[in-house]
């Protein structure tokens, strides 16, 4: 009897211990959404980042006095949250697609594209914690229109910005580094060949090397390349093609396909339609259909965002690349892994083996755990899928009871799970870790006649929960353009676009979990 009593007490204590984390997570509460834009006109394309001290900056574009301008708004944890938005662009000309990143000291850099009167340039504006915004400077080469810009910091305070820029009629992939104590080093071309380059995405590894993944137009399709900047030698390497270069062509009639693509949220998959893809990506036309609550963010999500790849690095020197690629019948999701001793692995399919894949996004935590979210067509609907790769696989065995190594490439990925709100088209996902054991995924999903914003939370001990609305549930009109960030102290902020009626403008809201 005493033995059973002791066992019962032990089980209760163990259960209580296991629930501590879950209780702590759910003790935090999502607050009501707060309006954070300037109030001057329609606002779109949000981006947000936290500094190490619990403060954040959100950037967005907003129609003001006849132009699309770039604004920034600070969230200060010790000054009641959101402050007043300020314009940070290069003057009264159209500016679009802003992004922001912080260093470990609390300084930030925001980037955006803006017309100089003849071409679109890439600008950067440096935010100094003790001084504020220092003013925008052009950081591209000035050879032609620039687009597709992305930014990332490393722990040493160094920055790389990558982008596409037209040079002698071809879009080339370029990179510009900001080095602490030096400033901007100047834009350099990092791709090669005669085809257009698209959708670059950068990442630093723990040794200060830079990896940039991008697409290159070759033959009848788009091939995936990666280039590495070696910190030790201070040079960019030779671009390496990850895909096999054998793009299969499926003959389809664009005139029959066009209406289907334009009506819904479907991307353009078949490389045969590459000219049409380029028209959509580089049209420079940011008008939208009010009756369909169409916005620039929704246009982006169908084309540019649907293709943009991802790359992350762990502290063991492994680099994980994720991208979509046409296989002749469907657009599949792939991953490839780099290790110092072996180089790059052969890409392998990592999706749910269903229909076409879009919007492949990834996040990594401090102990090497990875979460992947993507959209994939299932039974006529575009659904949000998620896969989680455990950081520890030493206790996992395959069917033959052979241990799987810690750096095993594919075997310790979990299965793909649908995590959205039901059989309705969903798109534009984003995902982050909040600490090492919680994951937050957010996305846009059709609900009746409009698009709503949703989220789902993953707790290590529980798995994925139930999808819930991220914005104001009583609103009848559409929201989109979701972005999310987490602070070191586990504070969360999501920002999104919301249009509450046809007559009102599109607004930017922030919603905090604390």
Contacts of 322 (CB under 8 A, 6+ apart): 309, 310, 311, 333, 334, 335, 350, 360, 361, 362, 372
Tokens 């910091």 label which residue?
153
> Cα–Cα–Cα angle for 310, 225, 143, nearest 5°?
95
Q: State the Cα–Cα distance between residues 462 and 459, nearest whole angstrom.
A: 5
Tokens 């930030």 label which residue?
108
Q: Quick check: helix, strand or coil at residue 259?
A: helix
Outline where 231-317 has alpha helix (H): 254-263, 274-282, 296-302, 304-307
Looking at the DSSP bridge assignments, the partners of residue 82 are: 75
Does residue 511 belong to any structural domain of this protein? no
Of the candidates 49, 51, 54, the residue with the CA atom closest to the CA atom of residue 72: 49
Of the candidates 110, 92, 4, 106, the residue with the CA atom closest to the CA atom of residue 47: 110
Q: What is the 3-state secondary structure (H, E, C) of 9-23?
A: HHHHHHHHHHHHHHH
Phi and psi at 339, nearest 5°, equal -130, 145
* pTM: predicted TM-score of the whole model, two decimal places: 0.89
Q: Taking the CB of residue 241, how many other CB atoms lie within 10 A of it?
A: 14
* Residue 412 DSSP label: T
Domain count, the chain: 1
Does residue 304 belong to any structural domain of this protein? no
Does residue 507 belong to any structural domain of this protein? no
Does residue 120 belong to any structural domain of this protein? yes
Q: What is the 3-state secondary structure (H, E, C) of 445-460?
A: EEECCEEEEEEEEEEC
Tokens 């009756």 label which residue?
291
Looking at the DSSP bridge assignments, the partners of residue 373 are: 361, 386
Does residue 177 belong to any structural domain of this protein? yes
Does residue 147 belong to any structural domain of this protein? yes
Outline where 144-288 has alpha helix (H): 254-263, 274-282
Does residue 331 belong to any structural domain of this protein? no
Q: Give Dmax over CA atoms of the chain in angstroms.
A: 86
Tokens of 135: 């003013």
Task: Provide the CB-side half-sphere exposure for 56 (13 A, CA).
Answer: 30
- Give the DSSP letter string of 483-510: EEEE-TT--EEEEEEE--STTSPPEEEE
Does residue 75 belong to any structural domain of this protein? yes
Q: State the Cα–Cα distance between residues 428 and 254, nearest whole angstrom.
A: 24
Residue-by-residue pLDDT tens, the chain, 514 positions: 444 445 444 443 433 344 344 444 445 789 989 999 999 999 999 999 999 999 999 999 999 999 999 999 999 999 999 999 999 999 999 999 999 999 999 999 999 999 999 999 999 999 999 999 999 999 999 999 999 999 999 999 999 999 999 999 999 999 999 999 899 999 999 999 999 999 999 999 999 999 999 999 998 788 999 999 999 999 999 999 999 887 777 788 877 777 666 655 566 777 777 887 777 766 555 455 544 556 777 777 777 888 899 999 999 999 999 999 988 888 999 999 999 889 999 999 999 988 999 999 999 999 999 999 999 999 988 999 999 998 754 333 333 333 333 344 455 788 999 999 998 889 899 999 999 999 999 999 988 777 888 999 999 899 999 999 887 655 556 678 889 999 999 999 999 998 877 788 999 999 999 8
Any idea what the CATH number is for the domain that residue 143 is in? Answer: 2.120.10.10
- Domain containing 83 equals 35-189
């Amino acid at each position: 009897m005493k033995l059973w009593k002791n066992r019962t007490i032990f089980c209760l204590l163990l259960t209580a211990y296991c629930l501590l984390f879950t209780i702590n997570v759910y003790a935090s509460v999502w607050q009501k959404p707060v309006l954070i834009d300037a109030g001057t006109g329609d606002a779109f394309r949000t981006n947000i980042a936290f500094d190490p001290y619990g403060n954040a900056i959100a950037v967005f574009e907003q129609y003001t006095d006849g132009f699309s301008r770039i604004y920034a708004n600070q969230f200060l944890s010790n000054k009641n949250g959101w402050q007043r938005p300020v314009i940070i662009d290069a003057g009264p000309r159209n500016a679009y697609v802003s992004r922001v990143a912080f260093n470990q000291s609390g300084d930030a850099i925001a980037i955006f594209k803006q017309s100089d009167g003849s071409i679109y340039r890439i600008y950067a504006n440096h935010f100094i914690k003790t001084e504020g915004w220092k003013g925008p400077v052009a950081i591209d080469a000035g050879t032609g229109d620039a687009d597709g810009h992305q930014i990332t910091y490393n722990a040493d305070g160094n920055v790389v910005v990558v982008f596409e820029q037209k040079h002698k009629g071809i879009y080339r992939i370029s990179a510009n580094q900001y080095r602490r104590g030096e400033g901007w080093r100047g834009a350099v071309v990092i791709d090669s060949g005669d085809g257009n380059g698209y959708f670059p995405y950068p990442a630093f590894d723990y040794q200060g090397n830079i990896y940039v993944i991008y697409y290159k137009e070759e033959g009848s399709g788009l091939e995936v390349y990666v280039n590495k900047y070696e910190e030790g030698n201070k040079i960019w390497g030779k671009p390496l093609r990850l895909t096999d270069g054998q793009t299969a062509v499926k003959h389809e009639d664009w005139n029959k396909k066009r209406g289907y693509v334009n009506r819904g949220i479907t991307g353009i998959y078949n490389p045969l339609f590459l000219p049409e893809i380029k028209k959509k990506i580089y049209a420079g036309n940011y008008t939208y259909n009010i009756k369909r609550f169409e916005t620039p963010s929704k246009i982006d999500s169908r084309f540019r965002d649907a293709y943009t790849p991802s790359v992350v690095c762990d502290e063991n020197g492994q680099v994980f690349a994720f991208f979509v690629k046409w296989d002749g019948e469907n657009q599949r999701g792939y991953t490839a892994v780099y290790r110092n001793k072996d180089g790059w692995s052969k890409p392998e399919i990592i999706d749910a083996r269903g229909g076409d894949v879009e919007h492949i996004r990834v996040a990594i935590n401090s102990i090497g755990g990875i979460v992947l979210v993507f959209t994939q067509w299932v039974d006529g609907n575009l659904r949000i899928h998620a896969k989680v790769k455990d950081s520890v696989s030493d206790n996992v065995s395959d069917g033959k009871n052979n241990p799987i190594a810690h750096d095993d490439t594919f075997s310790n990925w979990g299965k793909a799970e649908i995590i959205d709100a039901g059989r309705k088209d969903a798109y534009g996902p984003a995902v982050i870790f909040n600490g090492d054991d919680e994951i937050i995924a957010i996305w846009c999903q059709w609900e009746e006649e409009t698009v709503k914003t949703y989220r789902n939370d993953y707790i290590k001990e529980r798995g994925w929960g139930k999808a819930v609305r991220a914005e104001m549930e009583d609103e009848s009109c559409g929201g989109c353009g979701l972005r999310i960030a987490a602070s070191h102290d586990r504070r969360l902020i999501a920002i999104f676009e919301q249009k509450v009626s046809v007559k009102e403008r599109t607004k930017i809201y922030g919603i905090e979990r604390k």
